């Protein structure tokens, strides 16, 4: 037979695209959707690496799909990613049963506070069943209609409304209740860094709420409290001990940022590892301190 059946990107005799051209078109259709799909997966899983893995698996399935049967690529891919995440959550929950110390989601860093799912809300989502979490995120956060939610979760629409309603009731208290001017939030974060590292306990105490809590995620890989530290006195005593440590071991401020929608900062510690600190602010006081030290959760910051 004479010659090739067509070069990459050329039309075949029947008017269809070559396999290579179809693959290029499918990949080109997927890439603009990737960031949105990662957002869905991260909010389901709380892990940047796992979210990227789920989206890559969805890409592989997309490349194998019969695209002629797909009317809405974004809905198809969102459904695929969500179902992959539901399967992943089963193993993730088993892993968290043996996780050392408090578990915090991987920190998402931004230069502004605009975040549809803040860190406290991510923690509230952890208390939901996987189906409740999916229904709430798809409908309440991403604005997906209940018909698509039902198709994704393979439940009827009425059941999905109930799932989302139960989730909404559980997470209502985790919604931000206090508006914080951006620059004030970042200034407070910088002041907290300065006071906590210098041992200025008077300045530090003036920033903290009476019921302040400290949550540190080292994952058993870096030193961190293995349980939340609750209350003003306990948190102050912890920072008094930390101040003595920081006098001998420098902690460098990289920059003040917003972390999962909360003001905070990134530091490089004396061992060269990154840490992130996010601050929950209520009535102008720091009500919660969230520190991520587990290096597995900070790789995307390098």
Distance, CA of 278 to CA of 105 (rounded, Å): 12
What's the confidence (pLDDT) of residue 178?
65
CATH topology of domain 182-301: Nuclear Transport Factor 2; Chain: A, (3.10.450)
Among 216, 237, 220, CA closest to 290: 216
- Which CATH code fits 19-101+125-174? 1.20.140.160
Q: Which of helix, strand or coil describes residue 6?
A: coil
What's the confidence (pLDDT) of residue 157?
96
Where in 38-169 does DSSP place strands (E)?
109-110
- Please, which residues have CB within 8 angstroms of residue 202's CB and are 6 or more apart in sequence? none
**Each residue of 48-72: pLDDT tens digit?**
999 999 999 999 999 998 877 888 9
What's the confidence (pLDDT) of residue 11?
40
pTM flag (> 0.85)? yes
What's the confidence (pLDDT) of residue 167?
95
What's the confidence (pLDDT) of residue 91?
81
Per-10-residue mean pLDDT for the chain, 302 residues long? 39 52 83 95 95 97 86 93 94 83 94 81 93 96 96 96 95 73 91 95 97 96 95 97 90 94 94 94 94 96 84
Q: Tell me, what DSSP letter sits at residue 10?
A: P
What's the confidence (pLDDT) of residue 94?
78
Q: Return the structure tokens found at 300.
A: 């995307």
**Each residue of 85-94: pLDDT tens digit?**
999 998 887 7
Q: Where are the domains of the chain?
A: 19-101+125-174, 182-301
Question: Which H or E element spans position 265?
Answer: strand 262-268
pLDDT, the chain, mean: 89
């Amino acid at each position: 037979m004479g010659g090739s059946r067509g070069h990459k990107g050329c039309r075949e005799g029947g008017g269809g695209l070559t396999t290579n051209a179809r693959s290029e078109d499918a990949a080109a259709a997927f890439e603009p959707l990737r960031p949105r799909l990662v957002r869905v997966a991260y909010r389901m899983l709380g892990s940047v690496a796992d979210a990227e893995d789920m989206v890559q698996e969805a890409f592989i399935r997309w490349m194998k799909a019969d695209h002629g049967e797909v009317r809405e690529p974004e809905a198809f891919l969102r459904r695929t990613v969500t179902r992959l995440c539901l399967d992943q959550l089963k193993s993730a929950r088993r892993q968290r049963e043996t996780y050392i110390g408090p578990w915090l989601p991987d920190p998402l860093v931004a230069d502004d506070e605009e975040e549809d799912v803040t860190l406290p809300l991510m923690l509230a989502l952890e208390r939901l069943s996987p189906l409740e979490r999916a229904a709430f995120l798809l409908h309440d956060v991403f604005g997906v209609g209940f018909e698509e939610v039902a198709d994704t979760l393979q439940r009827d629409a009425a059941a999905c409304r109930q799932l989302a309603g139960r989730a909404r009731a559980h997470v209502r208290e985790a919604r931000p209740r206090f508006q914080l001017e951006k620059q004030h939030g970042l200034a407070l974060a910088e002041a907290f860094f300065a006071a906590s590292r210098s041992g200025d306990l008077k300045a530090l105490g003036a920033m903290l709420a009476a019921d302040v809590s400290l949550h540190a995620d080292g994952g058993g890989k870096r030193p961190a409290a293995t349980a939340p530290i609750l209350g003003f006195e306990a948190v102050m005593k912890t920072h008094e001990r930390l101040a003595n440590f920081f006098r001998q071991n420098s902690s460098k401020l990289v920059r003040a940022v917003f972390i999962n929608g909360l003001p905070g900062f990134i530091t490089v510690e004396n061992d060269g590892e990154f840490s992130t600190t996010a601050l929950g602010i209520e009535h102008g006081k720091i009500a919660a301190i969230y520190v991520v030290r587990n290096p597995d959760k900070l790789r995307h910051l390098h």
